[in-house]
Structure 1
Amino acid sequence: MSTTRRVQDLFDLSGQIALVTGGSRGLGLQMAEALGEAGAKVMLTSRKAADLEEAVAQLQDRGIDARWIAADASKESAAQDVVVQTMERLGQIDILINNAGATWGAPAEEHTLEAWDKVMNLNARSLFVFAQAVGRLSMIPRRKGRIVNIASIAGLGGNPSVMKTIAYNTSKGAAVNFTRALAGEWGAYGITVNAIAPGFFPSKMTRGTMDAVGADVIASHSPLNRIGDDEDLKGAVLLFASEAGKHITGQILAVDGGVSAMVGG
């Protein structure tokens, strides 16, 4: 008799605990929903308690076991506290979704150092802080875990001249190589580390660009002639977070309608 698991079992997250940073809205909430629908218990964290309460209520309405902790992911002590509290309340952390992020628009010659540090601290430094804490306290001792970092296609290259987000691009480029470097180190512990690089999705972060340029114009640069929606990250995050992705690590998956495949596009 074959011992090969059914594909449904490979994607099943029953009994798993997932911590999602920046999980109160947008892409973070979409991914939390996917993990919860696959059976995981979900802990959300972001800065604003009101947003988290609303997000958890939305997840619970879908039958998902969800909790929240308000914290500023850019602060090391706050990140450590989130991990410790999650462990105390749920016992372990099997899946870390490093999604918290920020952007800043300004020409490079006028970009303030304060804004640069804000973006880098949240988009790059927090990845390390959360991964290190989760690794030390849960994943390395148990010799298993899944880490999914949220990069961006902005981390794979430069921008058209209309986009002036040098700190954001730099931080997401750091997220890409952080993913590869950590995957190389922590594979020995049975931990996979991968990244998703989204293209344009409607969100608070992209609202300014979409209002200025237009969603239709942005979509026209995609081979699929569309931007991302409320379902398009679900399959990718579930693959990386589940046993279906147990032999995948150090990889960057662009979910962008094909934009990054177009040389000079």
Structure 2
Amino acid sequence: MTESLSGHTRRGAVIVPAYNEAGVIQRTLVPLGPPAAEGYFELVVVCNGCTDDTAAIARRIPGARVVELAEGSKPAALNIGDQVASLWPRLYLDADIRISAAAVLDVLDRLARGDVLAARPPFRYDFGGADPLVCSYYRARQRIRRKPVLWGAGVYALTEAGHSRFGSFPNLIGDDLFVDEQFDPDEKAVVDTEPAVVKTPNDITSLLAILRRSRRGTAEARPGVGSAGGTGTATALAVLRSVHGPKSAADTLAYIAFALAARWGARRRTVGWERDESSRSLG
């Protein structure tokens, strides 16, 4: 069902880097294609290193401009997307994140006001089909009260002035963490709009894979801190303070166990890109 939108057109751009996302790319793009075709925003999909049908599926979406790169590199895809897009502000969206066109426009419009340089929508976790221990981890995680940050939602947006803080995306694992650290708290905002939907991994192996990758990304962005990250203790304390009964206590134990396992696993040298494949099934 196409959303009913109003207001002026050419309000910004959406850039979607995609690596072998045939199982989810249609779900992500379908809500955004018609508004893009109507001119509300540009929609640029950068398929990088794909060996599946991601590009072919994306090209079937009206309004989507699809670019293909031989190299499998998210930073390269983001930079190419910036070269192709012409409008500002720009929203950078992971290919497995669901967001409505109305939420996209709310974020772009918030940045157009000019009082902040970076923003994102709120987000919620979709636990559907996940292992009970994975659900426990994410229930504990979502209880943590965080200051406004750009990372973790799979979507963030920048003004042209905000983007000029770094010029181009560096070759780092955690682009969202890198971008977040370019701005002071009063320069970024979480917009009051419909939340984006983050699909959790379905199984323990996949959860550990993305947690290890996250820790390596933190170590890259904060080299003086190390793979454990600078906020590990503070986060653990925040989770413990959120306990309010037996169920939340069990969730907290699962959270801490996964965090410790990921911390240990991140110390091992890994070849290749670790990601969750369990939630990327066709359909």
Shorter-chain TM-score bucket reads 0.3 to 0.5
TM-score, scaled relative to structure 1 = 0.37
Per residue, is there more helix in 1 or in 2? 1
